[in-house]
Structure formats: C-alpha cells, structure tokens
C-alpha cells in the first residue's frame, strides 16, 4: 500500500551539518535564557542613597463631637439600638507634612475611604534621600476640629546607605513613630 513517491517526502535524517546546527541553536537558546535570567544587573537604588517610607492607615477623628442622646430621642429608637451617644460616621481627612532638614519633602491630605467617608485614610510614599545625618520632622492633623497639627514628631537620624526608615502612625505608640 505504501507509495514510494511520497513515503519519505518528510523523513528527516540527521547529518553532521544538522547536528552541528542543532547544537549551535541549543547553545544560542541556552545563552539567551541564561543571560536574561540574571542580567543585565539592575540598580534599584544608588549606593549612596537611603529610603524614607511614609505609610499609615489611620482613622481620622469624627467630623463632629459625639453628643448624648436625649430621653425622647432614645425612646424613638428600637430597644436594641438605644446607644446613649450619637456619633457621626464621617471621619476627618488626614493631613501630613514631612520636612527633611527644615525643607518640605511632602504634604498630602488623604480623604477617608468608604462611601460614607467612615474608613481609614491611607497613604504610602517613598523618598530616596542621601545617606547621612538628617533632621526628619513629620506633622499630622487628623481632625477638622483642630487648627494646625495635633501630632508632631521630629528626630535627628543618621541614615546608612540603603537603610529604610518608616514613618508610621499608631495611637498606642503615641502617634507618629519612626521605625528603622
């Protein structure tokens, strides 16, 4: 049944030339795979720089103070909803100002998240700064009922090359703190 005219139309035979050609191809492919697997080297941060990260996730203060409900107001509520204090859901935006060596580095006003503006205000910024001694000052306002900044932190830091300093906020740590 086999037709000799077509039986070997595509039969491939290895020849010395094809073996050398294949070896060259595999070698070239290996070089391409191997080289770009680790190179060229990427310089993510210059060797004489350090990094300051500003990151917080913080609930601003309620936009108005809580008030005590009157007896009439409480009576109108369902028995299981009669909380004595009425507090607004909406939170204040959080304003942050960062200064390095007395010069402004960053200022932002972060709105509270959520449709009712009752979520956290979050931010994440990174600043590449020269390694060495610096004065880092961070000021924060988390209440529209307060003029100016109600949290301030200033500290002299000596930053090593590639060192990371994190500016964060935690109420149980006294407000703004630097982690390094």
Partner 1 sequence: MSTFIAFREGGQSVLKRIEAFFDALFGSAGNPWRHLGALGFYFAWLAMVTGIYLFIVLDTGIEDVYTSIEYYTHQQWWLGGIMRSIHRYSADALVAVMLLHLAREFFYGRYHGFRWFSWITGVPVIWLVYASGIGGYWLVWDKLGQFSAIASAEWFDWLPIFSDPATRNFLTPESLNDRFFSLLVFLHIGIPLLLMLALWAHLLRVSRPDVFPSRALGWGSLAMLLALALVKPTVSHGRADLAVVPTALDLDWYYLFIHPLMNLTSPAGLWVIAGGFTLLLLVLPLLPHRKQEPIAVVNPPNCNGCRRCFEDCPFTAVVMEPHPDKPGHELARVIPDLCASCGICAGACPSSTPFRSVEELVTGIDMPRQPVSALRGEMERKIAALAAAPKIVVFGCECAADARGLERADTAVMNLMCSGLLPPSFVEYALRGGADGVLVTGCREGSCAYRFGTQWTEQRLRGAREPHLRAANVPPERLRLAWADPHEGGGLEVALTEFRKHLQTLGADEKRPRAYTRRIAHYG
Q: Name the residues that contact partner 1, by CB under 8 A.
A: 1-7, 9-12, 18, 21-22, 25-27, 29-30, 32-34, 36-47, 50-51, 53, 55, 57, 113, 119-120, 122, 124, 161-164, 166, 168, 179-180
Q: How far is the CB of 132 from partner 1 (least distance, A)?
A: 15
Query: What is residue 109's DSSP assignment?
Result: E
Identity of the residue, 105 or 166, whose beta carbon is nearer to partner 1 in the bound complex:
166
Backbone angles phi, psi at 33, to 5 degrees: -65, -50
| Dihedral-angle region of residue 78 (phi above 0 means left; psi in -120 to 50 means alpha; beta otherwise) | beta
Q: How far is the CB of 85 from partner 1 (least distance, A)?
A: 25
Identity of the residue, 69 or 106, whose beta carbon is nearer to partner 1 in the bound complex:
106
Q: Look up tokens 């035979």; give the residue.
A: 13
Q: How far is the CB of 175 from partner 1 (least distance, A)?
A: 17
Q: How far is the CB of 13 from partner 1 (least distance, A)?
A: 8
**Which structure tokens are listed for 122?**
């979050």
Identity of the residue, 33 or 81, whose beta carbon is nearer to partner 1 in the bound complex:
33
Identity of the residue, 49 or 152, whose beta carbon is nearer to partner 1 in the bound complex:
49
Spatial neighbors of 180 by CB under 8 A, at least 6 apart, are 157, 163, 164, 165, 166
Q: How far is the CB of 162 from partner 1 (least distance, A)?
A: 5
The Cα 138–Cα 96 span in angstroms is: 7
58, 142 in Cβ contact below 8 A? yes
The Cα 142–Cα 119 span in angstroms is: 13
Identity of the residue, 11 or 81, whose beta carbon is nearer to partner 1 in the bound complex:
11
């Amino acid at each position: 049944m086999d037709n000799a005219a077509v039986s070997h139309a595509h039969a491939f035979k290895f020849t010395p030339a094809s073996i050398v050609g294949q070896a060259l191809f595999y070698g070239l492919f290996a070089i391409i795979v191997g080289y770009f697997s680790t190179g060229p080297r990427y310089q993510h941060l210059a060797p004489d720089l350090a990094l300051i990260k500003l990151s917080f996730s913080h609930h601003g203060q309620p936009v108005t103070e809580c008030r005590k409900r009157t007896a009439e107001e409480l009576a109108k509520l369902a028995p299981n909803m009669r909380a004595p204090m009425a507090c607004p859901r909406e939170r204040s935006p959080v304003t942050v100002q960062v200064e390095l060596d007395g010069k402004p580095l960053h200022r932002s006003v972060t709105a509270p998240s959520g449709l009712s503006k009752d979520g956290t205000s979050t931010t994440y910024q990174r600043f590449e700064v020269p390694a060495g001694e610096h004065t880092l000052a961070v000021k924060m306002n988390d209440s529209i009922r307060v003029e100016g900044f109600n949290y301030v932190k200033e500290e002299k830091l000596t930053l090593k090359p590639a060192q990371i300093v994190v500016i964060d906020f935690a109420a149980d740590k006294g407000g703004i703190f630097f982690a390094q």
